[in-house]
Amino acid sequence: MGCCESMRHKLRTLAGLGRHDFVLLCQAWAMLLFIDVGLQLCPLRRVQEFVDVQVRRGKGTPGPRPPETLGRVQRLAGMAARHYLVPLHCLEQALAMQWLLGRRGIATSLRFGVQKTGDGLAAHAWLEFAGRPISGAMPGDDGFSPLEPAHARQR
């Protein structure tokens, strides 16, 4: 597919989005930008605190049922990530989705996993809703072993 044809396809896709989906796509892209810059300037903990505060502000926002919203947010956040300025990692995408879902009253948990690779470790981040993975590759399916949440160890 040539450059012009690719651009036409992207424009047709954008034109086919409804108003609410277009707004959600723009929110996802803007949040990816904020998180990308935030992670370059601040520790992860600070960026997570910002996301948590924003999520708490959005609690109770009326919206469609969670499964419908989960799918919509995942699809549009994925689209925003594919068309971002630079390639993104799973962490940026998971944090942006957590913010988007939280603003719609859907609480998720950010989880991390590791995988042994040759001489080192690889890490992966994903979201869980009601204890089930909803973003990224499913833990175990891709060789990543989930890490225990920090709050579970503080007993």
Cα 145 to chain center, whole Å?
19
Are 106 and 135 spatial neighbours (Cβ–Cβ below 8 Å)?
Answer: no
Q: Is residue 7 part of a domain?
A: no
Q: Is residue 26 part of a domain?
A: yes
Split into its structural domains, the chain has a count of: 1
Q: Is residue 15 part of a domain?
A: no
Q: Please give the share of the chain, as a percent, with pLDDT higher than 90.
A: 28
- Whether 1 has a pLDDT exceeding 80, the answer reads no
Q: Given this model, what pLDDT does residue 67 score? A: 74
- Whether 77 has a pLDDT exceeding 50, the answer reads yes
pLDDT-derived band at 26 (thresholds 50, 70, 90) equals very high
Q: Could you tell me the two tokens for 81? A: 């990530």
Q: Is residue 134 part of a domain?
A: yes
Residue 84: CB atoms within 10 A of its CB come to: 17
Q: Give 58-98 as a DSSP string.
A: HTT---S-HHHHHHHHHHHHHHHHHTSSS---HHHHHHHHH
Show the domain range for 70. Answer: 20-153
Q: Distance between CA atoms of 115 and 125, rounded to whole angstroms?
A: 12
Per-residue pLDDT reduced to its tens digit, 91-141: 999 999 999 998 888 888 888 888 888 888 888 898 988 888 887 655 555
Q: Is residue 139 part of a domain?
A: yes
Are 118 and 125 spatial neighbours (Cβ–Cβ below 8 Å)?
Answer: no
Q: Is residue 121 part of a domain?
A: yes
Are 111 and 149 spatial neighbours (Cβ–Cβ below 8 Å)?
Answer: yes
- Whether 18 has a pLDDT exceeding 50, the answer reads yes
**28-57 burial: b if 16+ Cβ within 10 Å, else e:** bbebbebbbebbeeeeeeebbeebeebbee
Place of tokens 């995408």: 93
Max distance between CA atoms of the chain, in angstroms, equals 58
